[in-house]
């Protein structure tokens, strides 16, 4: 299995590891097959709807650590409207690719970010399923594809 230099860099020196005690949104996702778990904490400035801080904790494989690390870099300082458009493919591209058997790790990174945003909206009293980018069916097709690849 060949990993890009970026994957190795983010795995060896992950950025933004940790927790945010007073996070505005916390998301936790896992993959039942491999058992890996990713937790993402967001601080969001209400006035500008911008991600002002992000931390993560991943109990998982090297690719899961690398994808969550680069995902935090991709969303830090970005408006929520842009973060909602984050895809696992963008995460993979930012890492200069991942081996096919590791693509599901990038899905976990996207899901962790979106789960944290869902929590943010829920805390604000907004139903997250009404937000474009967070609705349940957004990546259903991709997940089907992942499942096929895993089997």
Active site amino acids? 34, 105
H-helix segments, 13-136: 62-75, 80-83, 88-94, 103-123
Smallest separation, CB 105 to ligand FES (Å): 3
Residues in region 75-104 near ligand FES by CB under 6 A: 102, 104
In whole angstroms, give the CA distance from residue 102 to residue 68: 13
Beta strands 50-59; 37-45: pairing state: antiparallel
| Residue among 23, 40, 61, 92 that touches ligand FES (CB under 6 A) | 61
| Residue among 14, 24, 25, 31 that touches ligand FES (CB under 6 A) | 31
Which CB, 12 or 129, lies closer to ligand FES? 12
Q: Which stretch binds ligand FES (CB under 6 A): 11-19, 30-38, 47-55, 131-139?
A: 30-38
In whole angstroms, give the CA distance from residue 6 to residue 99: 13
- Backbone angles phi and psi of 149, in degrees to 5: -65, -35
Q: In terms of Cα–Cα distance, which of 58, 51, 54 is closest to 10? A: 58
Query: Is position 7 an interface residue for ligand FES (rule: CB under 6 A)?
Result: no
Q: In this structure, how many other beta carbons lie within 10 angstroms of the beta carbon of residue 50? A: 18
Residues in region 100-119 near ligand FES by CB under 6 A: 102, 104-105, 108
- Backbone angles phi and psi of 50, in degrees to 5: -120, 145
| Residue among 25, 27, 60, 128 that touches ligand FES (CB under 6 A) | 60
Binding-residue total with ligand FES (CB under 6 A):
11
Q: Which residues bind ligand FES (CB under 6 A)?
A: 31, 34, 36, 60-61, 63-64, 102, 104-105, 108
């Amino acid at each position: 299995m060949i990993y890009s230099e970026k994957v190795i860099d983010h795995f060896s020196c992950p950025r933004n590891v940790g927790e945010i005690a007073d996070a505005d949104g916390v998301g936790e996702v896992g993959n039942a097959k491999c058992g890996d778990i990713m937790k993402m904490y967001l601080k969001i400035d209400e006035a500008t709807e911008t991600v002002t801080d992000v931390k993560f904790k991943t109990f998982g494989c090297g690719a899961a650590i690398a994808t969550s690390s680069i995902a935090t870099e991709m969303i830090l300082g970005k408006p929520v409207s842009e973060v909602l458009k984050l895809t696992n493919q963008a995460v993979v591209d930012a890492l200069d690719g991942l081996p096919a058997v590791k693509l599901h790790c990038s899905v976990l990174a996207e899901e962790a970010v979106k789960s944290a945003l869902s929590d943010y909206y829920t805390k604000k009293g907004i139903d997250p399923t009404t937000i474009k980018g967070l609705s349940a069916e957004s990546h259903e097709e991709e997940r089907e594809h992942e499942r096929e690849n895993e089997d």
